[in-house]
Amino acid sequence: MTMRLTGMTAAEAIRPVGGTQTGPMRILLADDHDLVRETIGAFLTAEGLADVHGAGSLDEAISAFRSWGPFDLVLLDLNMPGMGGLDGLDRMITVAGDVPVAMISGVAQLDKVQAAIEAGARGFLPKTISANSIAAAIRFMAAGEIYMPYALMQQGGEADGFGLKSREREVLRGLAEGLSNKEIALKLDLQEVTVKLHVKTLSRKLNARNRTHAAMIARDNSLI
């Protein structure tokens, strides 16, 4: 795996989550490719960003979580032994409890990524992104946010001049109705975390300061 180090240093990209952590984060990285585990683990450890414990299968990851926890974040390879698709994600989330669980994969297909987020993944990391991007994404997810690469979110075509897709329009309509993320999720049969991700994307695409501003822009431009 090629790891590009560009722009800000990784130490600048990752800082103690919540301001209360005095040492590196503890990450459980499960991937059946030794090179992936070693490369990511060595980078994060060398930069003092995280202590990384590796596992080569889902069963090993579950065992490691129980034996070596607590962890701040779990990263699972989508296609490693034992995963069985999203069933493995569900098993790990059940074991991990409040600890965020995210997916990593060498192949980033939009439908699979969206399905993983719908199933409760805290994010999705393509193995092709830069080391600094991995570091920033880890901090983002460990802080409780949802991460998905911008380029991946742009897949699937644009529905209007703002680049909104049909699902984003539905979420935007909910914002205009004054609904909360939870209420929009119930109305559209989505996970609340998925709605939160859509709201962040809408704010960026519309250059909106907040959800209320996004609703105003939508009305002014006849987007809903």
In the listed set 153, 177, 196, which residue is the last one of a domain according to the structure?
Answer: 153
Residues 107 and 188 in one domain: no
Could you tell me if 141 and 179 lie in one domain? no
Contact 43, 11 (CB under 8 A): no
d(CA 206, CA 194): 18
If asked whether residues 134 and 59 sit together in one domain, one would say: yes
Q: Are residues 182 and 78 in the same domain?
A: no
Nearest to 77 by CA among 25, 48, 40, 26: 40
Contact status, residue 25 vs residue 49, Cβ threshold 8 Å: yes
pTM for the whole structure: 0.62
Closest CA to 83 of 97, 69, 104, 100: 104
Question: Distance (Å, rounded) from C-alpha 79 to C-alpha 58?
Answer: 10
Final residue before a domain boundary, out of 106, 126, 153: 153
Per residue of the chain (224 residues), give pLDDT as tens.
333 322 333 333 333 333 335 578 999 999 998 988 999 999 999 888 899 999 999 999 999 999 998 999 999 998 899 999 889 999 999 999 999 999 998 777 777 888 888 889 999 988 888 888 888 889 888 888 888 876 666 555 444 557 788 888 899 999 999 999 999 999 998 888 889 999 988 988 888 888 888 888 888 777 77
The answer to whether the CB of 183 falls within 8 A of the CB of 173 is: no
